[in-house]
Each structure stands twice: as structure tokens, then as C-alpha cells.
Amino acid sequence: MLSNTTTLLLLSFSHIVKLELGKLPGLRSIFSPASLFGTLIPTYFWNPGLSWQWQWRNQAAIYTISLDVARQFLFLKGQFDWRIDSDHANGAEWSRHRRILSLAFTPETFGGLNALVWEETTTLYHQMLQAEGWTRESDIMISAIDRITTKFALILIARCGFGQPISWDTPPQISGMPLGEALVIVSGMYRLPIKRLHDIEMAYTSLAAFMKENSDPQRKDVFRLMIRASEGEGKLHMTDDELAGNTFLMLFAGHETTAKTLDAVIGFLAWYEDVQEEVYQEIKKVMSEEGKLTCGELIKVQSCFLEVARLFQTTETVVLKTDEEDGHGGQVILEPGTRVAVDVVGLHYNPKYFPNPEEFRPSRWCGMSESGMTMFSVGPRSCIGRRFALTEGVAFLSNLLRDWKLHIRARVMRGVTAMTLGVGEVPVRLTRR
């Protein structure tokens, strides 16, 4: 009796929802995928969960996977509500944030920053070799490469983003707790049991103290450039809360996404040995007689980074809500309050734009302009730090592949969603070239 009643209620609920949506096909669930219960319950047919974009990536849904539609929405200004940092502000507020941050990434300022990122990546790589004892080894087993990449990316963003001269064997430390621990707590605590929520206060306090302790205007890292740009706006400068929001965004986006992409690149190159050999030959070609690498034309290395960023798109969904009625030429009318979601994972597996989307094919990115690098989003809200990420990724991979041949110990290239989409633990073996 109970099962019949439950089934009847579910069918009634489904019928009502379908009527309200004009019987459009799409995602239906009891809990929102982004809600507490929706994220805690694993992905099943009745609950999307955190991993639905990956596990259901080949199934049609009401969320759009059209690049044309995505461009149409993401290029619009003022007609959608985003929610304060440069990624989630809206309208004039967003324009102010973007203008201030973009001054830290102009071609003039980023030319020097790009060189700094390359130099610091190379320096940190050699420090890592010494600290990990790799200089004395010719064969290394790593059970999970993310242990290396996550630490590497976090230290690099601390150096180039905030001017902190942190070494490999010294954990990034700020007032009260390590920087990495504070970042993880602030970014993920809301998904954990309530009994641990009190740790958020210390994490936020530590991040705030970090910003105040590192406000030396003479340094030329991204954080200092952002502060000087903000001060130059006069009355329109960022408040402390806005500066904190953008600082957290830089810390999180600057290490989490890059580290996860590097994990997957290493796994794919270890599996596809022919591609790895092509990349290695390119690295040897541009390497100087002294064995040093410069920021040259490492097209194949960059293409591997971009292809993996497509296959495991760290940002899964972009959700917008209309603020005003928009007819877009009278073809489709969106009422105010309508939510529009771009399924970014599905978009990058759309065969219309990426033939044989399940295939690892780095060559598809050779000669691609920055505007075509859709994994960094499109339009005015495209990732402001994409050159930073590309420079770091190419520099790290070039140094690693110059010295080591990669071997996969188990094929585990499956999508795993936490705060962002990435791969699970990737066990690799390194043998010295």
C-alpha cells in the first residue's frame, strides 16, 4: 500500500512539473543537484548528485550543450543575474570588478608576469626534485600524482599570485593555520557535516590576515597589481570584502583547476605513449644546448593541456537567471526569472563542435586562437587567468617530460566530482630518460 501511494505521489509530482514546464524534456529531481541533500546523495536515476554532468554526459537534457546558445547568453550584459567576486558579480558591479582585475592581466603587465610564472615554475620544479629525492632515483613509483600537482599548483599561486617565497618542503603558512588547509576548508566546508562548520571562522580569519600581512605595494605579483588597480579607481575601488572574495577566487581557481588538469594530462600521456613521444621530440627541439627550456613554441605540449581540459572540464555548469524579458529576435521568449544553464561538460562532448568527442586528440587544438579555447569560457566572462594557467601547465609538463618517461600503472581516467570535475587518483611510474 505504501509503495503504491509513493509511486502515485511521484507520478503526480512529475506530471505537475511537466505541465509547468510545458512538457519539455529535461532533468527532474526531488533535490536540486546543488543543494545539501542533492550533493550528499550519490548519482542515481532519481537523484542527479554531484556527478550527473559526467555520468550522464551523452544524454540529452534541458540544460543546453550548444556553443551557439552559450555564446548568445554569455555575451549578454545586464540581462542575467549572476551572484561578490569577478566571477559572480552582475551588471555594473561585474564591470567594475572585471575592469580592476583586467588591469593586472593587460599585455603590458602580463608580459612580465608570464615570464615570472615560467621562471618560478621551473625553479619550483627543480626544488621539488631535490626535496622529493628524485635526483638520486632513476625509477619512481607514485601512487597518486595529485599529491605532487596539488602542492605544486598551490605553492606556485602563492609565489606568483601573492609574492610568497614558499619552498617545496615548507608548507604555505598564514596566521592560525596552513594556507592550503584554510583554502580547502573555506571552499568545501559547506558540503561537510554541520559539526565542523565552526572551522570556517578560523579559515576566513586566516585568509583575511594573509591579505593584510602581504600588502607590500612594491611587489609585482597579481595580488599587488589588483590592489593598485583597485586604489586607482578612487570611489569605485574594491571593499575589503570584495578584495577577499577575489583573493579566494584566485587562490581556488589558480590551483585547484590547474592541478586537476595536470593530473589528467599526465595520465593520458602515460597511456598514449605515441603522443608522449611526439611531445618529447618537440621539447627536445626547443631546448637550449644548456638543457634549459624557454617559453617557446611548445604547441604540442599546450595542445595536450587544452585537450585534457576539454575532456575533464573543471567548471561543469554555468547557471544564469534572466532579469528581464528577452525575445532574441522573437524566436524564443524567456520570461523574467527563467534559469538558463549551460552544461559545460556536455558542450565539450558535443560532436557538432568536437568530432569523436570521447577520443583523446590533442591535434584538434593546434593553431587554435584564444577565443576558441572554450574550456576557459567565452565572451566577457572568459577566464581572466587563462594565460597564467597555460604558462604554468606548459612549463611544468615540459620540464617533467624532458627528464622522465611516464608509464601508467592502471587506467583510471574516470570523472570524479568534488568542488570541480577531475580524474580520480592517477598512479604513475616515472623512469629517467
| Residue set of the binding site for heme | 383
Grid coordinates standing for 188? 568545501
CB within 8 Å of 158: residues ≥ 6 apart: 164, 166, 172, 179
359-395 exposure pattern, b = at least 16 Cβ within 10 A, e = fewer: ebbbebbeeeeeeebbbbbbeebebbbbbbbbbbbbb
H helix or E strand, kind and range, residue 406 = strand 404-408
Residues in the chain: 433
Q: Nearest-CA neighbor of 48 among 187, 318, 61?
A: 61
Alpha carbon 230 to its chain's center: 25
H helix or E strand, kind and range, residue 13 = helix 2-20
Contact 423, 260 (CB under 8 A): yes
Contact 75, 379 (CB under 8 A): yes
Distance CA 280, CA 274 (A): 10
CB within 8 Å of 336: residues ≥ 6 apart: 322, 323, 324, 325
Bind-site residues: 383
Distance CA 369, CA 108 (A): 20
Distance CA 271, CA 377 (A): 28
Distance CA 65, CA 82 (A): 19
